[in-house]
Chains A and B, each alone.
Chain A
Amino acid sequence: NAGVTQTPKFRVLKTGQSMTLLCAQDMNHEYMYWYRQDPGMGLRLIHYSVGEGTTAKGEVPDGYNVSRLKKQNFLLGLESAAPSQTSVYFCASSYSGGTLLLFSGNTIYFGEGSWLTVV
């Protein structure tokens, strides 16, 4: 019953280092998302993908890149980490978006989160 799996769960980076967060889902979902969550703020969408080979920018894409080479995987990269990127990162997936998602009631499924600290 894996659902959405994120790795790594915890990571400490030095400013300027690069890293990749991996998200994998086994539900055959089309849509995948990367969010960040900071104290006092709601989850904010970084990037999302509506299918294999596609990516799009969310609300806060600067400093991040993503790739969706396989349907089940969605990678989030930090090319040059900054302290402002210290956050909890959640990957999520959903069967579809648009009208079907509006009324499905199932919305999206989240991974367990990745705690990233940039020092």
Chain B
Amino acid sequence: RKEVEQDPGPFNVPEGATVAFNCTYSNSASQSFFWYRQDCRKEPKLLMSVYSSGNEDGRFTAQLNRASQYISLLIRDSKLSDSATYLCVVNILISGGYNKLIFGAGTRLAVHP
């Protein structure tokens, strides 16, 4: 079983739609969580961190459910420019005080006119 699992998609949605992605993680020692965005043939870039209380940044809302070990990303009023792959990233503190980032394979979103 992968440590971080995501539905690969693609999610094909029209402009203006609301779309949600989920991500599950298996390591209960996971400490912090992030969503990254990756455009085609580009590097991943941090979209937002995910806090226990949930957080919102404009049209994007991230939620964390520690009990069920999943995080979610909600995008409202989708724009064409939101088309990308969204990576779920989990940060685990390992021995020696170092961290280990585990990346999901990503969920592809395609927003069409």
Binding site for B on A (CB under 8 A): 35, 40-45, 50, 90, 97-99, 101-103, 105-108, 110-113
Query: B13-21, B71-79, B102-110: which one contacts chain A?
Result: B102-110
**Distance from B70 Cβ to chain A, minimum over Cβ atoms (Å):** 16
B64 within 8 A of A: no
* Residues of B close to A101: CB separation below 8 A: 91, 99
Number of interface residues of B (CB under 8 A): 27
Q: Which residues 66-110 in B have Cβ within 8 Å of A in the complex? A: 87, 89, 91, 93, 97-106
Output the residue of A42, A99, A103 with the most chain B CB within 10 A.
A42
B43 touches A90 (CB 8 A): yes
A98 touches B44 (CB 8 A): no
* Residues of B close to A105: CB separation below 8 A: 46, 49
Which 3 residue pairs spanning A and B have beta carbons closest together? A42-B103, A110-B43, A43-B103
A-B contact count (CB 8 A): 57
Prevailing SS type, chain B contact patch: strand
Identify the closest chain A residue to B36 (Cβ).
A107
B42 within 8 A of A: yes
**Distance from A39 Cβ to chain B, minimum over Cβ atoms (Å):** 9
Q: How far is the CA of A113 from the CA of B42 in the complex (A)?
A: 7
B89 touches A107 (CB 8 A): yes
Prevailing SS type, chain A contact patch: loop
B31 touches A40 (CB 8 A): no
Q: Which residues 13-71 in B have Cβ within 8 Å of A in the complex? A: 31-32, 34, 41-46, 49
Identify the closest chain A residue to B32 (Cβ).
A102
Q: A43-B44, A90-B44 are in contact. List 13 more A-B contacts (CB 8 A).
A: A35-B103, A40-B105, A42-B4, A42-B106, A44-B103, A97-B98, A97-B99, A98-B98, A99-B93, A101-B99, A102-B99, A105-B46, A113-B43
